[in-house]
Amino acid sequence: METIKYPAKDSWDSLCRRALADKAAEVTATVTDIIAEVEKRGDQALIDYEKRFTGASLSALEVTAEELDHAETAISDELKTAINQAAENIEAFHKAQMMAPVEVETSPGVRCLQRAVPIERVGLYIPGGNSPLFSTVLMLAIPARIAGCREIILCTPPGKDGSVHPAILYAARLAGVKHIFKTGGAQAIAAMSVGTGSVPKVDKIFGPGNRFVMEAKQQVSRSNVAIDMPAGPSEVLVIADDTADAEFVAADFLSQAEHGPDSQSLLLTDSARLADILPEVIDRLMSTLPRQDMMNRSLTHSRVILLHDTDEIMAFSNMYSPEHLIINHRQADALAEKVINAGSVFIGPWSPESAGDYASGTNHTLPTSGYARAYSGVNIDSFMKKITFQRLTPQGIASIGRTVEIMAENEDLMAHKLAMTLRLNAIKK
C-alpha cells in the first residue's frame, strides 16, 4: 500500500483516478455475444449459460414456492432476527422519503402539479459468487415495494446444485418479491432487458455485479431499459486525524478490501503518526481474517495520503467523490457540512461503513468511480418517475398567452404560437 506525503495539487487528479480493468475490450465483446444469444434463444440460453458458468443443471428457471418455504427453515433464527431488524430500519428510512404531490398556481388561472408515479416493472440483480448478498435484496426490494412498483422480479445465480442461498430467498420473500429466477451474470441482465419465456422484460434494472454484469447493464441501457447507475469497483475514503483509533481505520480499510480485489481504500489525514502506523495495523488485523489474498490485491491500489490541513482534505475528498466516505475526525460534524460529492457519509468514530451496508437504514447501492459527482445512491426516487400536469383556465390563457406567443415567434415555431393565438382569440369573443 502506497503512502504519499503532501502531494502537490497538480498531482491530485492522477491520484483520484481509479484503476482501469484489464481486458476491457474482451469483456465488451463477450457481453455483446451473451446478450445476442439470450435475445435469440431465450430460456434455453440462460439454462445453457448456468450449466457453463455455475455447473447447475436446471430444468426450470423460476424458484418454486416449495424452495421459498424451505428457506424459512434453512437459516438460523439468529440470522432471521438480524435480517428482520435490518429490513425494519431500511423500511423506516425509505418510507420517510415519500413526498406529497407538489401543486402551485404559477400565474392566475395556471395550476401546475407534479406527482410521483412508480415504475411498473423493475428487475433486481443479486450477485452470487464470493458472498450471498441478501442485504442487497433488502436494499433494492424494500424501496421498490414502498414506491409501489407493480412487478418486482429478482435474478440471482444458483449454486452448482441448482439452489439459491436460503438467506437470499428469505430476504426476498420478506421484502415482497414474488418472482425469483435462477440466472446470473450478463445473461441475467440480458434476460431482464428483453424478456424470455420465463423472465419478464422490465423497465429498469438495479443491482451490483462483476465487470461482466456492469458492462451488460451499460449495453442494455443504450437500447432496451434504464439502469440504476453506472458503477465500477467499490471504494471507501476515510478522513481521520490523530484522535482516530488506528484499529478502527484499519478495519474500515479491510472491510472495503474484502469486497473484491479491485476495491480501493484511501486515507486522508493530517496526522503523520497515523499515516506511518496504519500499514502495520492493517497487516496485523488482516492476519486474523479470511480472504487475505483478495484483500492484499485490493490494498496494492489503496493509498494513505498525508495532507496539510482539513481544507486540503475536504478539497481532495470532493474531487475524488467516494462511494463511501468515513469522517473519523475531531471535527467530523463540521467536515460533514463541507461534503459536496459522496455516495454515503459515515460521521464519527462509531459509524463504520458496515453499518450502512447492512442495518442503519440508508441504502448501500451507491455511485462509484467518481459518479457521486452527479448521481445519488438508490432511494425511493430511483423507483419513481415524476410526471407534471398543468391545467389552464381562460384566465390562465389571458395571463400567460402573450408571453407564449412572443417566445414561440422568436424561436420561429409558428404552430406553437398559433395554438395559443387561437385560444386568446376565443376568450376575447
Q: What's the predicted TM-score (pTM) here? A: 0.94
Say what the pLDDT of residue 131 is: 78
* 37 is known as an active-site residue: no
Please tell me whether residue 340 adopts helix, strand or coil conformation: coil
Say what the pLDDT of residue 20 is: 67
Phi/psi region, residue 48 (left: phi>0; alpha: psi -120 to 50; beta: rest), is alpha
Q: What is the pLDDT of residues 181-203, one digit of tens each?
A: 999 999 999 999 999 999 999 99
2, 8, 310, 342, 374 from 338: Cα distances, Å: 27, 22, 10, 11, 17
Please check the confidence at residue 356 and state whether its pLDDT lies above 90: yes
Q: Are residues 154 and 58 in the same domain?
A: yes
Q: How many residues does the chain have?
A: 429
Contact 140, 207 (CB under 8 A): yes
Helix (H) or strand (E) holding 105: strand 102-107
Q: Determine whether the annotation assigns residue 187 to a binding site.
A: yes
| Rounded-to-integer distance, Cα 6 and Cα 308, Å | 7
User: Among all chains, which residue has been given the C-alpha cell 422519503?
Assistant: 97
Q: Determine whether the annotation assigns residue 411 to a binding site.
A: yes
| Rounded-to-integer distance, Cα 347 and Cα 257, Å | 20
Q: Are residues 176 and 251 in the same domain?
A: no
Helix (H) or strand (E) holding 370: none
Q: Is residue 303 part of a domain?
A: yes
Q: Determine whether the annotation assigns residue 329 to a binding site.
A: no
Q: Is residue 141 part of a domain?
A: yes
Q: Are residues 48 and 192 in the same domain?
A: yes
The mean pLDDT of the chain is 95
Radius of gyration of the CA atoms of the chain, in A: 25
Q: Are residues 320 and 220 in the same domain?
A: no
Instruction: Give the other-Cβ count within 10 Å of 352's Cβ.
Output: 18
Q: How confident is the model at residue 204 (pLDDT cuts 50, 70, 90)?
A: very high
Instruction: Spot the catalytic one: 37, 50, 215, 323.
Output: 323
- Indicate which CATH number applies to the domain containing 252: 3.40.50.1980
* 323 is known as an active-site residue: yes
Instruction: Spot the catalytic one: 94, 165, 324, 364.
Output: 324
Domain count along the chain: 3
Q: Determine whether the annotation assigns residue 259 to a binding site.
A: yes
Contacts of 64 (CB under 8 A, 6+ apart): none
Q: What is the pLDDT of residues 115-130, one digit of tens each?
A: 999 999 999 999 986 6
DSSP string, 244-282: S-HHHHHHHHHHHHTT-TT-EEEEEES-HHHHHHHHHHH
Q: What is the pLDDT of residues 276-309, one digit of tens each?
A: 999 999 999 999 999 999 999 999 989 999 999 9
Paired with 238 in beta bridges are: 267, 326
